[in-house]
Amino acid sequence: MNIFRELGIRDGKDRINEEVVYNVARAFTIIESHITEILSPYNLSIAKFNIMLMVKHVGQEKGLSQHEISKYLLVTTSNITRMLDKIEKDGYIERCAKKGDRRVNLIRITKKGSDLLDYVWPYYKKLVDGLIGSKFNDKDKNQLNRMLERFKDFKKA
């Protein structure tokens, strides 16, 4: 059913772009609420979880700079700084000065952070597989990925 009819709002061919936005937003909200439910018992937000995963798997032993993390996760460096402060306070990451350039901090996952990710990951993976795998076959998932990837180069006007 068309989302506008479902909501009791006038629909029409001239509103197809809005309909797409509403459907993407609704899908995001549903997925986000399920993921939040899995992560919240561990005092993790989706943002904290993603930062920790990025640091652990992309940064590995070397670590990542705050700038690299913000670039990968598409958030501002000031937002990353606040999130890193919280994650560091929880003992899940550590900041280390970069050799040769003490102005740059490299972010590394701690054993405590790595252990938490290893513990939570199977629950997260099961949830995501259930949410997506139950709704889409592989052909649909590949097509949806290709369509959504078109947004990666979208710039604000």
Residue with tokens 């949806």: 144
Answer yes or no: is pLDDT of 33 > 70. Answer: yes
Domain spanning 45-153, CATH architecture: Orthogonal Bundle (1.10)
Q: Is the pLDDT of residue 1 over 60?
A: no
pLDDT for 143 equals 95
Measured distance CA(3)–CA(19) in Å, rounded: 7
Domain limits of the chain? 45-153
pLDDT in tens, 95-150: 988 777 777 789 999 999 999 999 999 999 999 999 998 889 999 999 999 998 88
CA atoms within 13 A on the CB side of 114: 13
Question: Using CA atoms, how far apart are residues 104 and 102, in angstroms rounded to an integer?
Answer: 5
> Strands across the sheet with 93-98, in order?
64-65, 101-109, 93-98
- What is d(CA 83, CA 40) in angstroms, rounded to the nearest whole number? 15
The string of pLDDT tens digits covering residues 85-99 is 999 999 999 998 877
pLDDT at 104: 76
Instruction: Please state the pTM of the whole predicted model.
Output: 0.82
